[in-house]
Chains A and B, each alone.
Chain A
């Protein structure tokens, strides 16, 4: 089991038109210094290393509110064992979902969508479908979630973009059917607001 490299994963997302926030990979301090002014703040920092599967546990995730904080956090993270570089990503607002895939030996790619954030695994509010999943089916999956009303923004008037989210679900289904070498996918979280849905973090396992 191995995680697909960041640049390669990014290419896959682009190929399947899954959008993600502006994200740049830096492995040297002077590159960050040179470009720090070009970001819209706050930004997220996430460490990257081939053998790192759970970066939160090693202190490899952070949020910087300005340029100074970014540089400070960057140099600290680069010193963590196994870290090859740090991803700097502009922050997006919206509701968190998780979209993923698990390849079942009998049924092939099983596509998942669930309510994201810290409660993903506690509330276990998720729906599965065996691929292929059409856009219409993807919309049905979202409607079947217990948290559907929450996604509609019933209380806070901040609905997600269902169309864009369904497109991502279908894209993952198509991607999984074509790339048989990929055994698991996590887009976690996918952040969605009324305007758009983007995969803020992603993991492809081969």
Chain B
């Protein structure tokens, strides 16, 4: 495994190509790296400026007396080679090349990339990129990227070939939090497989979320992924499913086993969960990061019969089993003065429209006490007598009492439940605005007994 500690936990950083001009890559890097200024010594390198955000830049990395752990390179492509030479001479601990204009631009760029790769490999320095957004490691308060903001701490490592998609995650799902957000660009040196190995062992990371277009060194990838999925889930989204010019093939097998079909088979074979959309990718990652996995035996508590039936339908389609209620459970709920005598008496537990928060409490607590219920779906429709905030509070409390049993909420409707949903999600109980979306995600939570 490559040692990436200098890349991801540097004590000293130099931003080469730092800028004071807003809306530039060089300024984005400056602004972001300063969010961790209490954690490390930061240097800016730019021969043309006297001051950047109150700090005096040096002309060359060689002008810095201290050892440099991480050098971030964001100079125009024609200067990259020279800067890499300087970084190698300085014996930096790791390099992130943000600059574009390499293998993604055709043969000439590819030659240029091979040139800088040879330099860093000879020097034994790990290099991320070129053509990447950079790296964010929340626990280390490191934002060595030009992302639009700095995400909160969380349990998901987003590892993406595309930098723009990392931007989407950072900007779009602030509350979700990440352990890391890495765009690896052209993966000349440090590649997807190295990152998988690193974050597979990272104690802060519970889920690995990948965006891939093409995978290099497929055999190694399979070997590493197979090992990691045994200890933590990998959720992948694959783009570039349909190659423009399908290659000439001479067999039926060749025509049927296209590139995407092969990727699908690979994912399945090594235990990677494939997401079909960005939304699904986040839905699944969030659930896996926040809730424990469980065996396939769920219950549904709802105050709306129709929604309960719909949820049961989706469960059937996705292969999620709904457990039969025990006599004990039925008797206990029926004997409660807080639950309407018209409740369904089977799973889904429809505690009917006028369900009070106490009614929810009785139903949820009783059903979670049933041994063979391994996870719970709570649906709330906003009716005139519904108290979303109180319901959320009850769910948060009960979740603590049953730490091994995941709870997934569907507080449906709109603004009436906004604050309640915030409360749920702050306590890492995921809420989905649509039954189908959430139930697809729940499928990825279900595991064999020995895995949980």
Contacts and interface: CB of A to CB of B under 8 A. Distances in A.
Interface of A: 1, 3, 53, 98, 100-102, 104, 106-108, 110, 112, 114, 120-121, 124, 126-130, 184-186, 188, 203, 205
Interface stretch (B85-93, B182-190, B244-252, B291-299): B244-252
Contacts of A112: 253, 256-257
Contacts of B257: 100, 102, 104, 110, 112, 126, 128
Interface stretch (B53-61, B213-221, B442-450): B213-221
Interface of B is mostly: helix
Q: How large is the interface on B (under 10, 10 to 19, 20 to 34, 35 or more residues)?
A: 20 to 34
Contacts of B256: 112, 114, 120-121, 124, 126
A104 B218 contact: yes
Contacts of B262: 102, 104, 107, 110, 128, 130
Given A110-B265, A121-B255, A130-B266, 7 more contacts: A3-B250, A98-B252, A102-B262, A124-B256, A128-B264, A184-B250, A186-B251
B251 A203 contact: yes
B222 interface: yes
A205 B250 CA distance: 8
Contacts of B254: 100, 102, 184
B269 interface: yes
Contacts of B252: 98, 100, 120-121, 186, 188
A124 B258 CA distance: 12
Contacts of B222: 107, 130
B261 interface: yes
A59 B262 CA distance: 34
B278 to A, nearest CB: 24
Interface string B379-391: 0000000000000
Interface in B261-307: 261-262, 264-266, 269
B249 A106 contact: no
Given A1-B248, A107-B218, A107-B219, A184 B269 contact: no
A106 B250 contact: no
Nearest to B257: A102
A65 B266 CA distance: 46
A92 to B, nearest CB: 20
B239 to A, nearest CB: 16
A205 B251 contact: yes
A196 B416 CA distance: 66
4 nearest CB pairs, A to B: A100-B253, A106-B218, A128-B265, A107-B218
User: Which of B254, B262, B264, B266 has the most C-beta atoms of chain A within 10 angstroms of its own C-beta?
Assistant: B254
A188 B252 CA distance: 8
A114 B265 CA distance: 14
Nearest to B217: A106
Given A106-B217, A107-B219, A185 B266 contact: no
B249 A108 contact: no
Nearest to A127: B265
B76 to A, nearest CB: 33
Contact of B253 (A106, A129, A130, A186): A186
